[in-house]
Amino acid sequence: MQLKGSQIVVRTLVEQGTKLVFGFPGATVIDIYDALLDYQDEIRHVLVAHEQGAAHAADGYARATGRVGVCLATSGPGSTNLVTGIAASFMDSTPLVVITGNVATEHIGTDSFQEIDITGVTLPITKHNYFVEDVNELAHVIREAFRLAVSGRPGPVLIDIAKDVQQAMGSYEPAEAVRADDPVLGDLSQLDAAVACINACHRPLVYFGGGVLAAGAQREVLELANKVDAPIACSLMGLSAVPTNHPRFLGMEGMHGRYAATMAMKNADCIIALGCRFNDRSTGDRTRFGAAVHIVHIDVDGSEINKTTSDDFGIVGDLRPALNRLIPLLDQADHQGWSQLIQKMREDEASQVDTRDGLTPRNVLMMADEFREPGSCVVTDVGQHQMWAAQFLVLSQPRTFVSNGGLGAMGFGLPAAIGVALATHRRTLLVVGDGGLGMSVQELATAVSTRAQVTVLLMNNGTLGMVRQWQRLFYDRRYVGTTLAGYRQTDYVAVARAFGAQGSRAQSLLDLRRAFGEAAACEGPYVIDCAIAQDELVLPMLAPSGGLDDIIVEVEE
């Protein structure tokens, strides 16, 4: 059949199962918006306040569901405003399809009004991108973009469509929704050597990242740990793949990870690494990492093998088939001495727990857990609150912890939480700091207009807390540019009400309990401005340029 290019775009999105598109209109996508009106019963457009919010919201949608998130923006500033969100999804391997408009093909290269080479700009931060000049290629390109976004290592794919292509008539034939490429075993040449290494070790550790969630390999991780009698630790991106109360799970490892998890990484003689990148936040000083340990590294992306660590055995392939091939070859192990050492690490960690009364980070997040619906999602922004959430919250089901790791983009939290809430139709907890909320507070307008069920827990310490923590510990308390209290006069409860949301301020645990109760009964977003002491620290902490043995567990006042 013959359709306008803009209609082909929307029809193909519907065909691929897209239910939500997050975007902001403009001249070069006005034809796509016109077509959206004809399909409003099948696909919902969510108008954001800023294009960066569209990318983060689509990202949150994708992380919570495992499906492709879709965002839409016009050319020029519309497309460049998406860049931070695209980079955030690229570094955390989140599947997005990003659609932008551009000026008509005859104006390309003439510096026309709002012309930008967005494919060139985003080339380093996308799995692939397209500039579409032929209307008859539109449906094929969109289908390919969806397939690429979810196949192998997931990630964002950008499609830039010239305005005249959207207006031209072209051929469209309905098709089935594309599927991800079939999982592959990949390079198993080192499998036998890896099996021998694991069978011979005495202190194994299973360490995983977000690749386990992407592969749906949670069951296999637990089966592997039980087979080799190993504790389990994870990166920030791996959180929620294994229930945090599982007896083998030690928690997040690394710069601000749990003490026992980091010490287990330091003392292991074999690390079985699954779908993780071994970035600097996990290893500390890489020159001091892994000297006395064997590393068996399994990842769908072969470029990650030996990229940052000296991996003894690399297996390239999808995690589930690789683990299903590996596990039956392993001996059933019983490492009693290692288990006793792990228990000692747990006891040392328990002795470090902050048991103070009042609005401490731990007490605040423990109360937040009381009011969370079972299986509901937690979203964080970036900063101290993010690490506290990773340390203290109870996560029982996969894809219930949504956080921006690799890019560390402040401002991610609120729009991502909106995407999660609209995707899951459940009240979503957003844990955010006053610095991060200030970067995307305009998306409260989006939360209100969509009636998104988001409880915004603002852990307000009047400072850019993570940077201040570094200034305190490593820069002789030279506080520059991080103190917000007294400098900014923002009343976030008043701001919430100005946008049409509800909110209240918590100065005590009693106030906080009342606020959470009101939020649970609210039909839309609710902002809790919770006072946190300015000098609260995230501990443990790895010292900058230090190794795992330089972990800081306490700080003198």
- Give domain limits for the chain: 2-171, 191-351, 361-543
Catalytically annotated residue among 1, 40, 106, 113: 113
Long-range contacts of 220-224, Cβ-Cβ distance < 8 Å, separation of 24 or more: 220/319, 220/320, 220/323, 220/324, 220/327, 221/274, 221/323, 222/246, 222/248, 223/323, 223/327, 224/272, 224/323, 224/326, 224/327, 224/330
Q: How confident is the model at residue 491 (pLDDT cuts 50, 70, 90)?
A: very high
User: What mean pLDDT do residues 244-251 have?
Assistant: 98
163 is catalytic: yes
> So what CATH class is 191-351?
alpha beta
Cα-atom radius of gyration of the chain, to the nearest Å? 24
Structure tokens at 232: 């389990």
pLDDT at 547: 83
User: What one-letter code names the amino acid at 235?
Assistant: S
Question: Which is it for strands 270-274 and 294-299: parallel, antiparallel or unpaired?
Answer: parallel
Mean pLDDT for all residues in the chain: 96
Confidence at residue 288, expressed as pLDDT on a 0 to 100 scale: 77
Question: What is the structure's pLDDT at 279?
Answer: 84
CATH number of 361-543: 3.40.50.970
Other residues' Cβ atoms within 10 Å of the Cβ of residue 247: 7
* Per-residue pLDDT at 348: 97
Do 381 and 373 touch, CB atoms closer than 8 A? Answer: no
Please, which residues have CB within 8 angstroms of residue 476's CB and are 6 or more apart in sequence?
Answer: none
Question: What is the residue type of 369?
Answer: D
- The dihedral sign for the CA sequence 552, 255, 272, 245: positive
Instruction: Catalytic residue, from 237, 367, 466, 541: name it.
Output: 466
The pLDDT assigned to 361 comes to: 98
Average pLDDT over residues 218-237: 98
- For residue 379, the SS3 value is strand
Select which of 4, 127, 163, 266 is catalytic. Answer: 163
pLDDT in tens, 358-401: 999 999 999 999 999 989 999 999 999 999 999 999 999 999 99
Higher-scoring residue by pLDDT: 61, 557? 61
Tell me the mean pLDDT in the region 291-304: 91
Active site residue 366: no
Tokens of 394: 């109870």
User: Do 191-351 and 361-543 show the same overall fold?
Assistant: yes
Strand partners, 161: 101, 132
* Among 239-243, 323-327, 415-419, 547-551, the least confident range: 547-551
What is the rounded average pLDDT of the residues 55-61? Answer: 98
| Contact (Cβ atoms closer than 8 angstroms) between residue 534 and residue 461 | yes
171-193: pLDDT as tens digits? 999 999 999 999 888 788 899 99
pTM of the model: 0.97
Residue 466 annotated in active site: yes
499 is catalytic: no
Q: Which of 15, 51, 253, 304 is catalytic?
A: 51
State the Cα–Cα distance between residues 51 and 440, nearest whole angstrom: 11
Q: Rounded to whole angstroms, how far apart are CA atoms 442 and 499?
A: 8
- CATH superfamily label, 2-171: Thiamin diphosphate (ThDP)-binding fold, Pyr/PP domains (3.40.50.970)
Backbone CA torsion sign across 546, 550, 555, 556: negative
Distances (CA, A) of 356 to 296, 387, 389, 431: 41, 19, 17, 21
